Structure 1
């Protein structure tokens, strides 16, 4: 089972399939690289080297007490890239992973990163403040933290419903998908799950987005109930130099069903473009 050891001794687990141009996929919270299983196979089948890692404290990676912050996540990704000596990379990030790949590309990606693709990503910044009056109030994130501490098992079961839009009329979200969301969530250690809420909600990616000099495709469902589209994709596209914005009608935050099928074809097309 492949791991890379970071500067602080954390072991980051990763999957590495196929050959060709490398595509690195970064998962959302509270998931793991398992969330990219379909995309890993799809990319490898289409002639790419598909790589997905478990963020520290998530999935099969080790979970130290420290380092559950966006700067360290980006540094961990850099350790993986250097370990595999990757170049001409396409980065794909969902939700929290979208923030991770944007920060990595801005701070470490020069000469290595060719393109960036985000889906339902948290940039530029989620939390409400004087400088971001349209953001989500801090009390909402405090509520997430309280739920993780109180009964995270029940919380993850309930969170899966809005995450995948199962509460919408006509939704066809399977119980299996909800169960798998719960399974991945329960594999995140409680410290990492708790700390990551601050990382994804309070990290400011404004300067990272401005610094990107490679093409970026910014994708988001227009019915995202987790990351408000008006405060995420629609703001991010205004900050990047070479961006494409696509909103998916009726699509939720979680990547599944018809949304996943369309998104995956867009990922392949963007890589080839």
Structure 2
């Protein structure tokens, strides 16, 4: 069942709400939408979980305002959905930039109504390199990517998709599957795609991470070239009591490269 939740005046987010039972919120990565988790929704809803996928502003079926793509605003959007749906004891699952938004949510809102946190290939502590932080993408490369979005978004998405999957996991990734991921990216607004990537380029979560006091599991593809394994190492060191699950044959999209292992580990996290 899909519904719309108004998160601020004249801005509503599309929320997919499937199943009954324990609520699990899924935050998608850039430049996709909540449909990237459809295989998890199908499976977990059969296991007694309520799967809630939020299309971030600018992506999927959500509204795409001209502005409002800072991590603070995106985290506030999540709180608005939790309040509107009257959720409690939530399992929060954030992938890539969704993981970054989840980190900001936990710090900004004190882990409000969250029972456990899963960070999947999270774009944190920071996505781009900066002083005393030699990890991730160089700022000039991020600038070039933004320029490419403005010039030829379909080609940029195809190029990004080629880095997204390793293809050496449990099963080969078919061309139609890659086309499907490309289509999810094309469903986003151009300006939401640009401005969210600008937040990826500029935002820094290093001060947020020590504020997380909720039980946290970190999922990391060890062949990830978008959010490299160093990110997971830093998250593990920064979040007290956190645990790390490694996917040795996965790139960034470990839920696609090693789907059986991913689902098994996700269910272990939810128990």
1:263 maps to 2:257: no
Q: CA deviation at 1:105?
A: 2.1
Q: Distance in 1 between matches of 2:44 and 2:171?
A: 27
Q: Describe how 1:191-270 pairs up with structure 2 within 5 A.
A: 191-230=191-230, 232-270=231-269
**Residues 92, 118 of structure 2: 8 Å contact kept:** yes
User: Residue 153 of structure 1 aligns with which residue?
Assistant: 154
Q: Distance in 1 between matches of 2:91 and 2:110?
A: 10
Q: CA deviation at 1:129?
A: 1.3
Q: CA deviation at 1:252?
A: 0.8
The verdict on how the C-alpha distance between 1:260 and 1:200 changes in structure 2, with shifts beyond 3 A counting, is farther
Give the gaps of 5 or more residues in structure 2: none
User: Residue 103 of structure 1 aligns with which residue?
Assistant: 104
User: Residue 86 of structure 1 aligns with which residue?
Assistant: 87
Q: CA deviation at 1:33?
A: 0.5
User: Residue 59 of structure 1 aligns with which residue?
Assistant: 60
The verdict on how the C-alpha distance between 1:193 and 1:257 changes in structure 2, with shifts beyond 3 A counting, is closer
Q: CA deviation at 1:32?
A: 0.3
Q: What secondary structure is seen at the aligned counterpart in 2 of 1:226?
A: coil
**Residues 165, 225 of structure 1: 8 Å contact kept:** no
Q: Distance in 2 between matches of 1:175 and 1:93?
A: 26
Q: CA deviation at 1:143?
A: 1.5
Q: 1:41-79: CA deviations, max 9, x gaps? A: 222111111100100010000100010121111111111
Q: 1:221-244: CA deviations, max 9, x gaps? A: 0000211211x1111111001200
User: Residue 51 of structure 2 aligns with which residue?
Assistant: 50
TM-score, length-normalised on structure 1?
A: 0.94
CA RMSD for the aligned pairs? 1.7
Q: Distance in 1 between matches of 2:169 and 2:234?
A: 28
**Residues 221, 254 of structure 2: 8 Å contact kept:** no
Q: Distance in 1 between matches of 2:170 and 2:116?
A: 35
34-43 or 248-257, larger mean C-alpha shift: 248-257
Q: Distance in 2 between matches of 1:254 and 1:248?
A: 10
Aligned residue-pair number: 270
The verdict on how the C-alpha distance between 1:100 and 1:111 changes in structure 2, with shifts beyond 3 A counting, is closer
1:185 maps to 2:185: yes
Q: Distance in 2 between matches of 1:58 and 1:131?
A: 33
